[in-house]
Amino acid sequence: MKQIETIKEGKNFKAVCVGKVSEIIEHELPMGPVTIQGKVFAGQAVGATGSELSFQTLVPGQDSGFLHTHKTHEELYIILKGEGHYQVDGEIFPVSEGTIVRVAPDGKRALKNTGKENLTMLCIQYKANAFTEADSPMTDGVILQDELKW
């Protein structure tokens, strides 16, 4: 079973490695009575305080196993490799590398690999409606005059 590796950490950061995209399938996630092959959560591993993130690989023909919703979390699904179908509230549409799907907490969602190769995705979940106009990346970011040291 593949493990998350810590690369470096300091006062204001932590860097980890989940492995190459092709290695995500080697992770196992125990969830109560079942173990999900090819899924790994990484948000807690990096110490994220405003979101959670996971990677998951589905082999050809595999689906996520169940529909699910969330109580308060919105999700972004980013397809990194492969192709499949995404289902939200009974609507089914094709997804492939580069597709991004946002789903509100109440959306009933699932993903299926319909391709001939593994489908790997990144899912970022965060509290819905947490950002306001004041949180725009254009106004929240601060460009510093410090010299870059490579």
Is the backbone of residue 32 left (phi > 0), alpha (psi -120 to 50) or beta?
left
Residue 37 three-state SS = strand
Class of domain 21-129: mainly beta
How far apart are the C-alpha atoms of 57 and 101, rounded to whole Å?
A: 16
Q: Is a pLDDT exceeding 90 seen at residue 33? A: no
CA atoms of 148 and 146, how far apart (whole Å): 6
| Mean pLDDT of the residues in the chain | 95
Which pLDDT band, with edges at 50, 70 and 90, does 141 fall under? confident
What pLDDT is stored for residue 132 in this prediction?
A: 83
Mean pLDDT, residues 85-92 taken together: 98
Q: What is the arithmetic mean of pLDDT over 98-113?
A: 98
- Residue-level pLDDT at 87: 98
Predicted TM-score of the model (pTM): 0.91
**Stretch 127-139: mean pLDDT:** 85
Measured CA to CA, the distance from residue 106 to residue 128 in angstroms comes to 11
Checking if the pLDDT of 117 tops 90, the result is yes
DSSP of 68-101: B--SSEEEEEEEEE-EEEEEETTEEEEEETT-EE
Task: Give me the pLDDT at residue 32, please.
Answer: 87
Angle at 21 between CA 110 and CA 100, to 5 degrees: 40
The domain spans of the chain are 21-129
